[in-house]
Amino acid sequence: MRHTTTKAAIESRLSMRSALPLLHMAGAALLVIAVAGPARAQNTGIAACDDFLTKYDTCVTSKLPEAQRATYKAQLDQTRKTWLDMAKNPSTKPAMEQSCKQTMDAMKTSLQSFGCSF
């Protein structure tokens, strides 16, 4: 009986030793995530566009009713993706500053009813 218990204890220790590297890696990954914090949205590199995206995001998360946030957040995410793609394209990038300003002006009016100010 004692032999069986000792054998089981040894096997358990060996199993734990083989798991240690994985536990260390998992711990390191959690530490990186904790230190890095939440993912940050990418910038377009165009001041007017990034300004609008930041203000729109703040408006959506702080002023809009919870029931409507998902719709506006999806619109924001799609706009950000489109603008990031446009910013990478040399033929569309030059027109972005003006386009983003026009978008901001249009959205100012529609979001004023929620108390958002740009």
The ranges assigned to domains in the chain are 1-39, 47-114
Question: What is the value of pTM for the model shown?
Answer: 0.64
Where are any strands of DSSP class E within the chain? none
- Vertex 90 angle, CA 88 and 95, to 5°: 95
Tokens of 69: 């946030």
Nearest-5° Cα angle at 53, 100 to 105: 45
pLDDT at 17 over 90: no
Residues 6+ apart with CB under 8 A from 73: 60, 61
pLDDT score recorded for residue 26: 42
pLDDT at 66 over 60: yes
Residue 20 pLDDT level (bands cut at 50, 70, 90): very low
Q: Is the pLDDT of residue 52 over 60?
A: yes
Do residues 41 and 57 lie in contact, with contact meaning Cβ atoms separated by under 8 Å?
yes
- Place 41 in a pLDDT band, splitting at 50, 70 and 90: confident
